[in-house]
Each structure stands twice: as structure tokens, then as C-alpha cells.
Structure 1
Amino acid sequence: MPDEGALTRAPGSDPSDAGRGTVQQAVLQRLRDAILSGELPGGSRLIQADLAKTLRVSATPVREALRYLEAEGLVGSHPHRGSVVHRISQHELEELYDLRRLLEPEALRRAMPASTAVLAEAGQLHDAMGRETSPARFAMLNREFHLTIYGGADSKRLVEMVRSLTNPLMAYVSASLQLVPDLHQRSMDDHSKLLSALRQNDLQAALDAQVRHIRIPRATLHLP
């Protein structure tokens, strides 16, 4: 595990400063940010007692945060190692994107026409992404942008399937944003085209924008 003090060096991120009702959320956000930024890389052991000491909180919010991160696909539980940051394999990476290409167009079809509320929320998330400088937070906003749009579909099971595919990819997206200079702008351009198509209720244009956004050639799909 990386040096314990690393988790306390982010300004304004000390969970012990949070109110009692928000400590768990603060711990969850701190650990998620550390995983997505690579501060806690894949394969890192997450020892509850060490994390609680480092973050200056009790074991309970750490334990609950780890459970939530496991449900998100960012953390795995191993019999002899305990909680470990999930390390995505090349095969898993390719498989996840293949499945996204199959499922997300159907989710988009079912979500159209998009409601005024969905368009408003997606627009706010798009604006937030444009202001975001943290790759980890951008990855989270990117996921929520797409899930918000798909949430308009009358198929909760399909949306949850898409969510389960995108969760393990967040760390990969975050790392890619740091390594590929124009990826942030390319993503923003794709989102702008998708939003414009949704506002015009143009299904084909929306599908074209979406497919372009997630069509990463197999040759370029590689772990950073």
C-alpha cells in the first residue's frame, strides 16, 4: 500500500473535519478519488485499521466505504488479502468496451425522447465536466452524464447493467485522461453533439455521437 500519509495530503479532503452525518460520504469520496487518480493503484491492499488511522476516523465509515466501492467494482475482496483495489486486465478492458458497444445504443434508444428534466440534468453535468480539472472527478461526472441520459429509459435492469460495466472502467478513464492530451476535449465535443441530438430528438444523430464516443479501436485499448 502506498505511504499512509498520501491520503491526507489533498487540501480540504480530511474526512475528520466533516460533520458526523457526512463522515462516511467524505471517506468514500476520499478513497474513490485516491483509486481513480492512481494514488491507490490496482492491487493495493486496503487495511481498515490503517485507513481509519490515516484518515482519522473510526473503522465503521471505512468499512462501509469499502463495501460501497466493492459494489462499484473499484475494490475486490480476497479471502487471504482482504480488500484490494481492483486491477483491471487487458482482456477485461476489451470485454467491457465490447459490451458497452452492444448495450448502450439500446439504452439510448429506450431513453428517447429525453425528458426536459433529463436534458437539464445532463446539461448541468456537461457544464461541470467543462470546468473540472481533476481526471478522477471528470471520470465520475462522465459516468453520471451517460447514466443520467439512460435513466430516462423504462428499463432499470438495462441501466444497472450499463452501470456495472462502467464502474470498473472509471480508473482506466481517469488514467487515460492524464496520458492522452486531447482526450478531455474530445470527450466534451462528443458530449456536446450527443446533447444537441437529444434536444432535437434526432435518434440517428444521437446514436452516431454515442457510438463515436465509445468506439475505441481495439488496437488503442491498452492499459496505461
Structure 2
Amino acid sequence: MKDNSVYKRSHNACLDLIGGMAPGDLLGSEPALAGQLEVSRTTVRTILARLADDGVLHIDGREKRILRLPRDEEYFPDVETESSAELVERKFMALILQGELAPGSVINTLELARQFQVSTSAIREYLSGFSRFGLILKRPNSSWVFQGFTSSFALELSDIRELFEMQSLEHFAASLSDGAGQAKLRAFKEEHIDLLRRIETDFHSFSELDERFHRAINDASGNRFIREFYDVISLIFHYHFQWSKVDERERNEVAIHEHLAIIAALEQGDLPRAKKAAANHLKSARETLLRSVVRG
């Protein structure tokens, strides 16, 4: 199936660009837009034609004048802007977190491709990424087996996670210097406080919030290796957090307070205190992971 997520992401990005301007303003040239959106000029022309049809732009030769600002309903939903790789990652993670893939389970690429509605090559590429870490074993008949985890593996993983995340936290703190960064941090704070209010019934929702919060910190590093390895870190930590049901609500509530301590320090621009709070949180995560491996 054709993956048009690039077009949809670029369309949304163009709407964001226009949203920061005013009616009557002129957009840049097609080459300039292609550079800003990081797509081909052909894709830019397709986007511009749609925006003209929707009444957002008036195009007269090379002149592209903004007629009105974009509306929320004109954006493609986030789920439609995912690339095949992102879609496979999200759905495979869901299989793990929902307990549909236990250690020792056989993974069939054809079956997953049909289930996720992507190509088998997208499935194979994703699984190959994890095979390097010994999490997935490829069999001669092209099937894959989801492996279990050991205490030594958990310890090594925790060491790397702490090393990467403490370094990434410095970059994340630096990214909060502008309005967009502060807005992101406020949004995370509000989500944590809201979940805390609903913790008695919605404690399962913490896993998704935890993943987004830590991914935002690690992505701020701009380091491709940290970003790639965080996929493995996220998979294992969240898999085991949900696999171990003992004191799950209490553990999640404690983790929310630990996140809020990091956020509070970052709000005040106190990086040393943020690092101390992060170290405390990562220590808790290490202990929880080790307990879950032993129980498993």
C-alpha cells in the first residue's frame, strides 16, 4: 500500500507555517517552501493546490497570498501522518503492552503485515532493529521469536538508560528557553496533574504518558543513536511495568510525583535539582524493572 504520510505531515507543517503569518502575507517560493518542509517541489505544488482549493491561499503565477488562517479541521489527524515505520512501532508496542506477545511467542511477518496494513518489508525492517539487542530471534523459516529478559540484561539496559537520559536532560532544559518549550512543559505538567486526579481508575494510562515524557527528553539530545536505542529502552521498561501487576497503581502514582518533581525543577530553571530528581526517578524505574524480571 502507498505510504502518503510524508505528504500529510508536510501539509500539516505548511498549515503551521501559514498559521504563524497573517492574511495578506505572501508565502515564499516553491524552492524555499520545499527546503522548509524538507520535501520535493512536486509535493509542495500538490499541497499548494489543495490549499488554494480550500480557500486558504490565492495563487497568481508565482505569487501565493494568504487569504485566511487555517482551521483545526483542515489538519490531517496525527495517526494519518505516521510513516510506515512509526505505525509499525506503535502497533507492535501495543501488542507487547497489551500482553498479546509473551516471551517465546512466534512472530509471523505476513500475519503482522496484514494486521498492521503495511508491507512485509516494513515489518522485517522493524524486527531486524530489535534483533541486534537479542530481544527478537530470527528463525531459518523467516519467522521470529520474541525473547524473554534476564536480570543482567535489565541491569545493562538501566545503566545505558541513565547515561543517555541524564545527558539528554541538559538538552531538554536548554530547549525550554522559548515560548514553545515552556508550553510543552506546561502541557506535560497539566497531563500529569490530571492523571493524578484520576489515578484510582485510570492508572493504566500512565504508561503512555511516561513514554511520551521520556521520549521528549531523549529526543531533545538530537542524537540519532540515543533516539534509536530509546525504542528498545521504552519497549522493555513499559512491557515489564505492565507485565508486573503487583502494586501497579501505587507505583504509577509514585512515578507521576517523580515526574512532577523533575518538571518543577525545570520550570524554575534549576538543572542540578532536575538532575537529582531524574536520578531518583531512574533509580525507582531500575528497581521496578529488576523486580519484574525476577518475578517473571
What TM-score do the two structures reach when normalised by structure 1? Answer: 0.69
The aligned counterpart of 2:173 is 112
The aligned counterpart of 2:241 is 173
Structure of higher CA gyration radius: 2
Q: Could you tell me which of 159, 162, 184 is aligned with 2:252?
A: 184
Query: Does residue 124 in structure 1 map to residue 187 in structure 2?
Result: yes
8 Å Cα contact 1:114-1:198 kept in structure 2? no
1:195 CA displacement: 0.7
Q: Which amino acid aligns with 2:172?
A: A
1:141 CA displacement: 3.0
Q: Could you tell me which of 202, 212, 221 is aligned with 2:280?
A: 212
Query: Does residue 80 in structure 1 map to residue 148 in structure 2?
Result: no
Q: Distance in 2 between matches of 1:62 and 1:107?
A: 34
Change (3 A) 1:118 1:162: farther
8 Å Cα contact 2:203-2:253 kept in structure 1? no
Q: Could you tell me which of 98, 106, 114 is aligned with 1:45?
A: 106
8 Å Cα contact 2:101-2:146 kept in structure 1? yes
What secondary structure does 1:112 align onto? Answer: helix
Query: Does residue 160 in structure 1 map to residue 240 in structure 2?
Result: no
8 Å Cα contact 2:219-2:227 kept in structure 1? no
8 Å Cα contact 1:118-1:148 kept in structure 2? no
- CA offsets per residue over residues 49-75 of structure 1, 9 Å max, x none? 44466x4x76x4465245335536796
8 Å Cα contact 1:101-1:211 kept in structure 2? yes
What secondary structure does 2:180 align onto? Answer: helix
Structure 1 residue runs without a partner (length 5+): 1-18
The aligned counterpart of 2:206 is 138
What secondary structure does 2:174 align onto? Answer: coil
Q: Which amino acid aligns with 2:167?
A: E
- CA offsets per residue over residues 66-102 of structure 1, 9 Å max, x none? 5335536796241336222242222111111122223
How many residue pairs are counted as aligned between the two chains? 200
8 Å Cα contact 1:113-1:198 kept in structure 2? no
What secondary structure does 1:215 align onto? Answer: helix
Q: Distance in 1 between matches of 2:112 and 2:120?
A: 7
1:104 CA displacement: 1.9
Change (3 A) 1:74 1:209: farther
Structure 2 residue runs without a partner (length 5+): 1-78
